[in-house]
Amino acid sequence: MYSATCEAPVNMALVKYWGKRNEELILPINDSISMTLDANEMSAKTTVAASESFKQNRMWLNGEVVPFEDNARLMRCLEGVQRLALANGGLKFPLSWKLHIASYNNFPTAAGLASSAAGYACLVYTLARLYEIPMNEQLTTIARQGSGSACRSLHGGFVQWHRGIADDGSDSIAEQLVTAEHWPNMHMLILVVNDARKKTGSTKGMQSAVETSTLIQHRATTIVPQRIKELRTAIQARDFKTFAELTMRDSNQLHAIALDTYPPCVYMNEVSHAIVNFVHDYNESVGEVKAAYTFDAGPNGCLYVLAENVAPLLAAIQVAFPNDAQQSVEYLKGIPVPPVELKKM
Ligand code: DP6
């Protein structure tokens, strides 16, 4: 028997991916940029074992059986990595050996907390380790076919997913812009508003947006290309003010598109909107942009803040949102690290 165990972190988008031009290959209509978090805080951990004695491929997610062979996205990831393994040659065991895969998330699944990103990134990375394929660009195109945002979790630091132009998706890859060390005092706070499973998942939500929103094409062709340029420059220059404004505007635009979808998709709730107002009021009261928010396809807020501003911001959050059954605040460090291998036999 051969096995590998790896851990891959969640990433949080600053310029959002929302909309596909090819549903099967998961090709986006626009580029996106994200920051990868510290795997200790929010990550998926996956073990893959291969044995001659296994009768079929099997998978467990958080201890529950997942129908692996019926899941087109999982199978595409497996076949993608196996194709690369064949091309690499020198296999230690035949590709016909079946696999047992066990994966765990250390945070709520599908509550708009990017669980699929970490999950698929971890699956592809662990399979690559099992078949002894070194980290390379092609792995990001395979993880992308599990879940679009997963391709960005194969790198640490700040990462850009290029939409690409090729019909086969070969140039729709994730590229690391800078490592975590470039901006080590960048931190993130997650405000957990609700960890229930979301009503309309990202896949469905963005599909309806592409079909019905009259704003989404303008976003994809005109707004995002400019925003990507500006955000890249702000990250290079560690310009927090510009970084924060671009991030907040892009989150707001994602949710404007969601509302322009017909019927509308409502991801943020009253508490989410209260967080938005809180951040703008806070920045105004301190006379400087010291915090930024972003919301994915769910009500939970993510705040970006520099390390030296975490304590005063947390104090203000605790006054504005005293802990009750409605919401709690979790503090997650944004030390962006890539996936790591934990052990291999
Ligand atoms: C709002 O990657 O979950 O988090 O490709 O259909 O699996 P699929 O969607 P997914 O969508 C993520 C959307 C987002 C924005 C982002 O991460 O860029």
- What are the 10-residue block averages of pLDDT along the chain, 345 residues in total? 93 97 98 88 90 95 92 96 92 94 78 75 96 94 98 95 98 96 91 73 96 98 98 98 98 98 95 95 98 94 94 91 59 53 45
Judge whether 305 and 189 are in contact, CB under 8 Å.
Answer: yes
Q: Ligand 1 pocket test: pick from 11, 17, 160 the residue with the most ligand atoms within 8 Å of its Cβ.
A: 17
Question: For tokens 């998926």, what's the residue?
Answer: 44
CA of 149 to the centre of ligand 1 (A): 5
**Which tokens is 328 given?**
């709690």
Judge whether 33 and 177 are in contact, CB under 8 Å.
Answer: yes
| Ligand 1 in reach of 250 Cβ (< 6 A) | no
CA of 308 to the centre of ligand 1 (A): 31
From the CB of residue 167, how many other CB atoms can be counted at a distance below 10 Å? 10
| Ligand 1 in reach of 13 Cβ (< 6 A) | yes
**236-244 CB contacts, 8 Å cutoff, 24+ apart:** 236/177, 236/178, 238/182, 238/183, 240/289, 240/290, 240/306, 241/288, 241/289, 243/14, 243/292, 243/304, 244/289, 244/291, 244/292, 244/304
Question: What is the residue with the minimal CA distance to atom 7 of ligand 1?
Answer: 147
- The atom of ligand 1 lying closest to the CA of 148 is 5
Calpha distance 127→140 (Å, rounded): 13
Tell me what ipTM this predicted complex has.
0.99
Question: For tokens 């499973």, what's the residue?
Answer: 197
- The atom of ligand 1 lying closest to the CA of 254 is 1
| Ligand 1 in reach of 35 Cβ (< 6 A) | no
- Beta strands 58-61 and 98-105: pairing type? parallel
Q: What is the pTM of this model?
A: 0.93
Calpha distance 105→114 (Å, rounded): 11
